[in-house]
Structure 1
Amino acid sequence: MSANTWNLDKSHSGINFSVRHMMITNVRGSFNDFSAEVTADPSNLAGAQVKIQIAAASIDTKDEGRDGHLKSPDFFNVEQYPNLEFVATSLTHKSGDDYKLVGDLTIAGVTKSVELVTEISGPAKDPWGNEKIGVVADGAISRAEFGLTWNAALETGGLLVGDNIKLHIELEFAKA
């Protein structure tokens, strides 16, 4: 086989996150506007080229006020930095469908290397004969490492917003 372009199927994809709130619960959210450029040979995924771009203003935590604050200079500063970007630097096969995906993540102008535990399924043909690949990736980042340090102290001790952001990404691609 040779490397092919794979097109993102957004209706079967999602980029989600969660963060500790008031040290007692998790707030969950997603980004609703994103794109991906993938060139890969399913028989040799180590050479895959992956670039994901996320519109920062598409953040959705199901709370308009919170979303507005997250878009402000306190966090994503979407006017100055409209996009988050991930560019893969390596994809290492572990066993079966399990991989380690490493890449450069840029948030609000700061780029850091991140590692994602990744499961890649397929290729498989859908009922209409289209060749598909599924990707599930999980990981965590420190928001402070990206300069997202806004917080508020709680009366009982601790902070309003946790530093650890858990990522859960599910993407489906169709062979071009």
Structure 2
Amino acid sequence: MSAAEHLTQAIDVGCTRDDHDHIAMHRAEVLAEAADFLTEIGTPITGERSEHERGLMYGAERLRLLADPSKAARMTEATDALNALPPKHDVPAGEVRFTGHPATPLSGWHYTELAPDYYGHVFMQIGGWLPEGWPIEDTPAGTARMDYAHLHGRAVPRGMNVQVSTKGYGGPRRFIKIQWRKDGAA
């Protein structure tokens, strides 16, 4: 029996309509958060994409559509659109250096301008994969000074304070996010 069938059975046995609505809202929120996560480690659905990125974007769109079953027909359209994208050429590895840490190689990186936050501040973000087995102590966490970031074809500001976070997603590699305010304010 699937999780959805277990949930339906639990609702049928004793949950009220209000409980059912609450559970449905929670399910939609969880699916939306999962879709946001996949979008965060992928990139927008435009241009050429690697198989990995296409898979992430397909998963994100699928989760968004599952959060609202009335949009199931769009799932087929999204799948067709993603499959129509040509494969992306591999992006040369990048490198980031933080004060007091060795140069950090990045693969599968992206350099993105994020949407304005609640206060209208625009942030820039570098995201990418650390090498397998990269020592966690060689990567800062929280606020750090980024000396430079060498990303093929991108001009990235140098010598600024940034916010750094890393996260493992069940594999041997970790994903790093580096963010800063676009206007340079701390």
Q: Same fold (TM over 0.5)?
A: no
Higher-helix-fraction structure: 2
TM-score in terms of structure 2 length = 0.26
Q: Which of 1 and 2 has greater Rg?
A: 2
Q: Which has the higher strand share?
A: 1
Query: Relative contact order, CA 8 A, sep 6+: which one is greater?
Result: 1
